[in-house]
Amino acid sequence: MNMRDPARAYRELAVRSASPVGLVVILYEEVIRCLRRALDSVQRNNIERRTTELSHAILVIGHLQSVLDYEQGGDVARGLANFYNSARSKILECTGPQSQELLESLAVEFSSMAEGWQQVDRELNQQAGAEPEPTMAGAVPVPVLRGGEARRQRAAR
């Protein structure tokens, strides 16, 4: 871990100890950070930084889409795929000062979705024996994620 950058060290530790759903939350948070930095760059007229941040956001969104399990996730996975496709299209539209509102809107959308994933993570931790947390009806089910850990969690239910 790089102790010269405490924020980075903290994120690295969070990734190492996160559940599969927790990793999704971390990726959403990264998209939000990229969108906020891009918004700041638009406001400062820093085109190079805006482009870098938006490119990174698109890559992270692409990764989120690549781990969707359409077979197990069904309509939820398809809905998330549509959300990711729409978000990437909107990001590509962010080319000038007029993009500030769109970037803010995207950051709010990803924040809202991240909250849902955080709730799913809390519920899974609760089921695994962690401290009880309040539940939210209609949470996104884990089967939308591809990967061995998600499958083991489903099998354990």
pLDDT tens-digit map of 97-136:
678 999 999 999 999 999 999 998 888 888 877 544 333 3
pLDDT at residue 11, as a whole number:
61
- How far apart are alpha carbons 42 and 36 in whole angstroms? 10
Burial bucket for residue 67 (CB in 10 Å: 0-12, 13-18, 19+): middle
- How far apart are alpha carbons 46 and 64 in whole angstroms? 27
pLDDT tens-digit map of 39-65:
999 999 999 999 999 999 999 999 999
Supply the pTM of this predicted model. 0.75
- How far apart are alpha carbons 125 and 133 in whole angstroms? 9
7 in helix, strand or coil? Answer: helix
The pair of three-digit structure tokens given for residue 152, joined into one six-digit string: 């083991």
pLDDT averaged over the chain?
A: 81
Sign of torsion, CA 100 10 56 124? negative
The band of 149, judged by pLDDT with boundaries at 50, 70 and 90, is: very low
